[in-house]
Structure 1
């Protein structure tokens, strides 16, 4: 565990900065209805398909970061995460998809929503153009956000239902461990790069807001439709 000069973990300070976004995520109807088991299946299918496309780029971000790392322990961790996303988490999405009538071809052919495009473009560009510290801060809201939101769902859920596997996945010991490792990396980069902390905070908050927008995108089944303009 590492701390800033004020004694608090930098990752805690990021979470404090994004507290309003975290609370908004927990209050979002997608989250509350999934916890109750009443979420419209069409909204969940949208989330599965869009998150599948998101994860492809999410894995690329860790691969890019791993290639840029000079510390072999950091490199190994980042590349391990990329492998785990492609090998395990995307397989979970394929199984979710099959349960709700989506074939693998459906996942591969779905068009990214505007929010998914914006989020993945931000992450990939950060990985390519910015520092490893900023990249770590940019990906942190995804893992920590899903853990915190899923734990909130678990508290709300009164009984098992069709979405229980989602809650169990994102509250599992394995997922908790992966989030803890990413959090440690954020703290490590913040301690080693004090001049990057403002940029890390900015990257973190951008991703946190996009996490909220991702729930909204799935719930509203956001697309690229353009309304007709009446002359």
Structure 2
């Protein structure tokens, strides 16, 4: 999965941090079913909290956008996060006796605070491209992980999670975000982004967010 032209360049710029994220022991534990359920539920509760902040970041992207098309794309992502993706967390946690009220009241882990505030700060202190570079590892990384686990998973212990991110709907959302990033890059820094003075900073945004994704999995693996 490439999800556009910019994403492979950013993924390459992330270096070893990218496979540390997408092939983290937490992810591989979902693949073979060895991930402890307590770790998964701890992660899921924290990811519910994360998605609330992530939705705010995508809403901020609406205000940073330059065109109506960009605004619509960002608004559609907010809708998908709040009304579709987050329902996976509510459904699975409810089956384990964790209510949505308890999810909403959950104490936020330090790794969660570090990641979500970094993304929000990227948007508040930077422009649309800064924010997209910080948002991209989560959206597109989960698409990559979900597609791979759907092919490779040897157990169906975590089939609901894998199915959500491998689904046609989520993969289509990833393709839309990839196209949004490509068009935003083209509009703001041209058809040869790697030649732009801004390029290294955007790669660093993406790389830092990827490192924070690794920390998020670490947090999930060791509740």
* Global fold match (TM > 0.5): yes
In the superposition, relative to structure 1, how do residues 158 and 90 fare at CA in structure 2: closer, same or farther (>3 Å)? same
Moved segments of 4+, more than 3 Å: none
Matched residue, 1:171:
166
Deviation at residue 19 of structure 1 after TM alignment: 4.1
Within 2, Cα distance between the matches of 1:68 and 1:100?
39
1-structure distance, mates of 2:198, 2:75? 23
Of 11, 17, 20, 2:13 maps to 17
User: Which runs of 5 or more structure 1 residues have no equivalent in the other structure?
Assistant: 1-7, 222-231
Asked if 1 retains the 8 angstrom alpha-carbon contact of 2:21 and 2:210, the reply is no
Deviation at 1:83, TM superposition (A): 1.6
Give, in angstroms, the shift of residue 152 of structure 1.
2.7
**Take 1:71 and 1:101, find their aligned partners in 2: how far apart are those partners?**
44
Pairing 1:81-92 to 2, within 5 Å after superposition: 81-92=77-88
Aligned residues: 213
2:115 corresponds to 1:119: yes
Q: TM-score normalised to the size of structure 1?
A: 0.87
CA distance in 2, matches of 1:157, 1:209: 25
8 A contact 1:141–1:207 mirrored in 2: yes
Matches within 5 A, 1:70-219: 70-159=66-155, 161-194=156-189, 195-219=197-221
Q: Which has the larger radius of gyration?
A: 1
Query: Taking structure 2 as the reference length, what is the TM-score of the superposition?
Result: 0.90
Structure 2: gaps (5+ residues): 190-196
